[in-house]
Chains A and B, each alone.
Chain A
Amino acid sequence: EPEVTQTPSHQVTQMGQEVILRCVPISNHLYFYWYRQILGQKVEFLVSFYNNEISEKSEIFDDQFSVERPDGSNFTLKIRSTKLEDSAMYFCASRSDVGADGYTFGSGTRLTVV
């Protein structure tokens, strides 16, 4: 069964450093997403991406965050200057179409900012 692949599974970074979280969505999917889950809290929407541009973003997704699909297969989330409160599990998801389709989620990247 097709999978969404995320790397790395766990990343530790120092506060103020830049991090890039990588995702390979399912190949025929058109819509791509990043969500995050702070430990013990709900899964929160960050951003959606379609047709090589951001289609929606949440208040969490401020200027410190950016997304890119550099080569038609990878979908990356960059955090420019990490803060302690960015520590969370970050999930990438993709879907073939909006509406009735569910997302296919990756297994997540646990980001720890120290």
Chain B
Amino acid sequence: AQSVTQLGSHVSVSEGALVLLRCNYSSSVPPYLFWYVQYPNQGLQLLLKYTSAATLVKGINGFEAEFKKSETSFHLTKPSAHMSDAAEYFCAVSGNTGNQFYFGTGTSLTVIP
């Protein structure tokens, strides 16, 4: 069975500050991990994915995430927050032969000018 836990339902950062959104996963098989972003009144857009290649994954809009098996984590980071990064962020996991995705409860990111 797979699941993800996102710590912190709301995160606020100043413009230009580091963004860190936390995700821990549980999986009985080697996982595939994903981060999605949801802007207001829009659908879910894939930011990046980990599929057992490089542990440091770079995505769109300057985001990256590092897969740490020892910590069962896949935290999302961005060195410098921009106002346009304000959105809801979802971590998701599936098994390597998995069909279904399991989403976290989401983290709402606010960027303060």
Residues of A within 8 A of B (CB): 4, 6, 31, 35, 41-45, 48, 50, 55-56, 58, 91, 93, 98-100, 102-108
Contacts and interface: CB of A to CB of B under 8 A. Distances in A.
Contacts of A55: 99
| Chain B interface category by residue count | 20 to 34
B96 interface: yes
A56 B100 contact: yes
Nearest to B47: A102
A6 to B, nearest CB: 8
A43 B99 contact: no
A48 B92 CA distance: 16
22 contacts: A6-B43, A31-B99, A42-B90, A43-B44, A43-B92, A43-B103, A44-B103, A45-B100, A45-B101, A50-B99, A58-B100, A91-B43, A91-B44, A98-B99, A99-B32, A99-B51, A100-B32, A102-B34, A104-B46, A105-B36, A106-B43, A108-B43
Contact of A100 (B49, B92, B106): B49
Contact of A42 (B45, B97, B104): B104
B5 to A, nearest CB: 11
Contact of B105 (A42, A48, A103, A105): A42
A57 to B, nearest CB: 9
B105 A41 contact: yes
Contacts of A103: 44, 46, 101
Interface string B82-107: 00000000101000111111111110
Contacts of A104: 46
A100 B57 CA distance: 13
B12 to A, nearest CB: 18
